[in-house]
Amino acid sequence: MIVPDLEELTALRGAALGLSLRARRPAMAQLQGGHRSAQRGRGLEFEEVRLYTAGDDARNIDWRVTARRGRAHTKLFREERERPVWLVADIHPGLYFGSRRQFKSSVLLRAAAMLGWAAAMGGDRVGAVISIPGTEPLIFPPRAREAGVLPILQALVESQPTGPGTTAPGGLQDAVAALRPLLQPGSLVLLLSDFSALDAGTEDILASASLHNDCRLLWITDPLERSGLPAGSFRVGLPDRIWWMDGDQSRSSWKQSWHEREQHLEDLATRLNLPLHQLDTQDPVTDRMIALLREPAWAA
């Protein structure tokens, strides 16, 4: 299997041309117009003052204009053109695995590259937090255009696993914990992971981050994880820990374990209202990302 290098990830800029990372909007906001908001906070800038109408947020009343004109007026805000987009890459040795087409780590890098290029070409500022086993996460503050994307891609290439290994606990939680104090309200957070190290601490941080930001989960999977081993006897494990497994005998418990993991992640996504998108090693990443970013559900 060919692992991504910087040249390949840079070339994905062409595949990302015309794709959009549109922010999710509440149903009322969609009815009122695509670029206006009655909410205040970072990521929004003043647009105009108009007459106050029933349902407007009273906190946005412009009291000076109201006093001068004798009728209540409210302020309208619109999104700033450069929105912070954060790529959170949960890289660990367990991603050095793939029963089809490519490693899970390769899926992560290619998907992150396309998301980064789509964000930058859409006028957003791109930043990243990259989980590095055994050390502090790498942090790249959001920057515009190539200056934001290229250093992230270089770090991803250098950080991808070069051999199999176990998933160290705490890596995913450390990454989202490092991101949390850096978030500005209205940011877009794209978390790429196989979620093998998802724990209660990580879930709590995600719950807090999703209150004022658009957070999305991109779940990296492999067909063998879902289906289990085929019929026969197989050597499995890590270089220092190998054992034999029978495909027929292990398949039932294997599938049950996967179902429980899948259900837990789907329940989390539902509970926190986080869109969950699956990226599989058997699918060409470019085709999958183009289809994904064009789905109505991406902007729903």
Mean pLDDT split into 10-residue runs, the chain, 300 residues: 93 93 48 40 62 78 90 74 88 91 96 97 95 90 94 97 78 94 93 94 95 95 86 73 76 87 95 95 96 78
In whole angstroms, give the CA distance from residue 149 to residue 4: 15
The residues pairing with 192 across neighbouring beta strands, listed in sequence order, are: 89, 218
SS3 label, residue 200: helix
Phi, psi of 30 (to 5 degrees): -65, -35
DSSP per-residue string spanning 263-283: HHHHHHHHHHT--EEEEETTS
List all residues 6 or more positions away from 201 whose beta carbon is below 8 Å from its beta carbon: 173, 177
Alpha helices in 52-168 (DSSP H): 63-69, 104-121, 145-159
- Give the pLDDT score at 56: 75
Count of positions (residues) in the chain:
300
Pairing mode, strands 276-280 and 241-246:
unpaired
Query: What domains, with CATH codes, occur in the chain?
Result: 6-18+81-299 (3.40.50.410), 27-79 (no CATH)
- Give the pLDDT score at 27: 35
Helix (H) or strand (E) holding 95: none
Helix (H) or strand (E) holding 1: none
The pTM score is 0.79
- 196 neighbors 167 (Cβ within 8 angstroms): yes
